[in-house]
């Protein structure tokens, strides 16, 4: 990722900070996908099928996944 400040110079601090935020968001999203897959597999093993939409909310960020 190349982030530049208003004068066009490389902004290493902003690049590092934004990179950490993006990495954390990607980790949360992957955890959500893994959780949904696990819920569907458990339902399948128990002889059920998930028909409706499953909504999850991340506890620390409050982000809602549908």
List all residues 6 or more positions away from 47 whose beta carbon is below 8 Å from its beta carbon: none
CA distances from 7 to 1, 3, 10 (A): 17, 11, 9
What pLDDT is attached to residue 1? Answer: 63
Q: What is the pTM of this model?
A: 0.73
Segment 47-54 mean pLDDT: 94
Q: 30: helix, coil or strand?
A: helix
As a whole number, mean pLDDT of residues 5-29 equals 87
Angle in degrees, CA 24, 64, 52, rounded to 5: 130
Q: Tell me which residue of 62, 20, 57 sits closest to 35, measured CA to CA.
A: 57
**Mean pLDDT, range 25-35, rounded to an integer:** 95
Count of CB atoms situated within 10 Å of the CB of 8: 7
């Amino acid at each position: 990722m190349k982030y530049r400040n208003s004068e066009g110079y490389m902004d290493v601090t902003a690049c590092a900070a934004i990179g950490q935020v993006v990495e954390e968001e990607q980790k949360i999203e992957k955890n959500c996908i893994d959780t949904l897959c696990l819920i569907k597999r458990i339902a399948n093993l128990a002889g059920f099928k998930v028909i409706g939409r499953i909504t999850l909310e991340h506890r620390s960020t409050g982000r809602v996944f549908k």
